[in-house]
Amino acid sequence: MKNSPSHQNSSKETDAVTASTLPESTDLLAQGGEASQGLSADEQLSLTATQAVAALKSGRLSATTYVTTLIARAKAVSDLNAMIILDEAGALASAKQFDADRAAGKALGALAGLPVVVKDNINTKGMKTTGGTHSLRNFQPATNAPSLQRLIDAGAIVLGKSNLHEWAFGITSTNFTLGIDPVTAAATRPCKNPYDTSRIPGGSSGGTAVAVAARFAPAGLGTDTGGSTREPASFCGIAGFRPSVGDGAGKGRRYPDTVNDALPISPTRDTLGPMARTVADLALLDAVISGTKAPTAKALKGVKIGIPASFWAGLEDSVQTVAATAKQQLADAGVVFVDADLTGVMALNDSVSFPIALHEPIAAIPAYLSANSAPVSTVAQVMADLASPDVKGAFGAIAGDVFGGAYAAAMIPVTGGRAQLQKLYKDYFAAQGVEAVMFPTTILTAPKIDPVNGSSKLSYTAGGVVLTDMDTFGTCIRNTDPCTNAGIPSVSIPAGLSADGMPVGMQMDGPLGTDANLLSIGMGIEAVWGSIKPPTI
């Protein structure tokens, strides 16, 4: 499942069809909405979320036909281990209801029967929410997370729950948990990158990324604490969005979810986020979740984007090549780049990242378990049933409150590390007059799967020098993590393929609350870069 080498950035070479090339509407059965075979299975699989909604609304494609095609695809590529639960019966029932409603002339929601996958740490009514961990193997929340409910209210159909790094506490989606699902046992095996199954898809929202990249879901929901929607998006050649989270106390938060709506790590940093094949698709889902109007693509001529050197240093050679090409294409399209570093950003981020992420779970995890009447109630009970070695290590730090003192210092108003990091970003955007900053989402392409530790050490070549014994976790989140502690929005956009056929994503971060503008710029950018080749499966 590995592509031939390519730096392809042309939409002409993608498997996607445009809305204008979809076959014209043909006869629909009066009841149930079974569309004629106007779209082949391959054409259905290639639809972006935006294209699928257009086809479903117009009747050129029935939801029943589409869901059937997607489920068949999911089963055909089940060795990727992207799903923990595939809800075939439930998805087909929802699809048939949508088709009946459409045939009856009922009003259709903004998502009009769009099938989506949902990361299995997000509360989902009627389905288990296991978090990929043994202690929650039979846990079923009573309600949907608000963001998911808004998607469903707008017509989305849930295909199932996607695999993830255990408790979302990692960036590989190599999950060692046993016995999650007696039929598929999806979470007992590592989630695999569809571009090269010996490599990780990223995490912790790896299953959602794989489902979208492997073309059995046009879109899905993930969560993001330190990069978990954007790092797997980069590794799997799709787009991922992290909305504004704000000050951690609710002010500036774009999405309605609380600590009790998905398995928590850090209330200050956690958020749900959409993942899809295009930024236009992200904008569609974001508009539904946030209750705002979806933006249109922004003309790029004259748009000022900052290039902070701290995020461009030490790139793997293959990433550097793709990033340089992508940057030049945008310059040719009229983007004005401002070479100005966010001086001190990495040191400030390092001073607050672990203290926040490994102290806040002490209170957040029991609060979630209690609010949702889970079968366990304490951090100790969760920890006793963990299977993934790297996650056990993280929970050991939580249980021992290793970062308790550093957390208090990090969260001091005005002078604390987090406040200083937020100020650094705010002052940078104002002083440089830029609408966003841009850099590679990850400094390397997807590493190999580590079947023993889940995540330990890696090697790669940067500037012609082979770097060895590098920490996998820290290396993979270096560029995605700072914005999470600052609470600002961030999007990863597929920019091209490396010489050995692996996806490379470019990330843009914007000022707090400028989510729509960031997505608008991203839509303009993807029009320049085009689509990358899908994985060969």
Tell me the whole-structure pTM to 2 decimals.
0.93
State the residue range of the domain holding 24: 11-298+310-529
pLDDT at site 377? 98
Quick check: is 228 catalytic?
A: yes
Contact 64, 32 (CB under 8 A): yes
User: How far apart are the C-alpha atoms of 202 and 209, rounded to whole Å?
Assistant: 8
- pLDDT computed for residue 182 by the predictor: 43
228, 290, 490, 531: the catalytic one is 228
Does residue 194 surpass a pLDDT of 80? yes
CATH number of the domain to which 76 belongs: 3.90.1300.10
Confidence of residue 16 (pLDDT cuts 50, 70, 90): very low
The confidence score (pLDDT) of residue 27 equals 32
CB count, 10 Å around CB of 489? Answer: 28
Of 23-37, 88-102, 181-195, 368-382, the least confident = 23-37
Question: Is 2 inside any structural domain?
Answer: no
Q: Residue 397 has what pLDDT?
A: 97
Tell me the per-residue pLDDT of 332-381, one tens digit each, with 9 for 90 and over.
999 999 999 999 999 999 999 999 999 999 999 999 999 999 999 999 99
Q: What does the pLDDT average to over 201-224?
A: 98
Q: Looking at residue 300, what is its pLDDT?
A: 98
Helices (H), 197-297: 206-213, 230-236, 279-290
Is 204 annotated as catalytic? Answer: yes
Q: Point out the catalytic residue in the list 57, 96, 119, 298.
A: 119
In this structure, is residue 4 part of a structural domain? Answer: no
Q: What is the pLDDT of residues 241-264, one digit of tens each?
A: 999 998 766 689 999 999 999 999
Q: Is the pLDDT of residue 48 over 70?
A: yes
Distances (CA, A) of 256 to 17, 170, 230, 332, 369: 34, 24, 20, 39, 19
Helix axes 279-290, 515-529, angle to 10 degrees: 160
pLDDT for 537 equals 83
Query: Is position 5 within any domain?
Result: no
Residue 467's pLDDT band (cuts 50, 70, 90): very high
Is 537 inside a domain boundary? no
Query: Residue 248: its pLDDT value, please?
Result: 64
pLDDT of residue 453: 84
Give the residue from 519, 518, 493 showing the smallest Cα distance to 434.
Answer: 518
Q: Which H, E and C letters describe 97-147, residue by residue?
A: HHHHHHHCCCCCCCCCCCEEEEECCECCCCCCCCCCCHHHCCCCCCCCCHH
Q: Looking at residue 452, what is its pLDDT?
A: 83
**What does the DSSP 8-state code read for residue 297?**
P
pLDDT digits (tens, 9 = 90+) for 72-130: 999 999 999 999 999 999 999 999 999 999 999 999 999 999 999 999 999 999 999 99
Name all contacts of 134-138 with Cβ < 8 Å and 24+ positions apart. 134/177, 134/178, 134/179, 134/180, 134/385, 134/386, 134/387, 135/375, 135/376, 135/381, 135/382, 135/384, 135/385, 136/263, 136/374, 136/375, 136/376, 137/179, 137/180, 138/375
Domain count, the chain: 1
Residue with tokens 């014994």, as numbered in its chain:
469
Q: pLDDT at position 179, please?
A: 46
Which one of 46, 94, 204, 244 is the catalytic residue?
Answer: 204
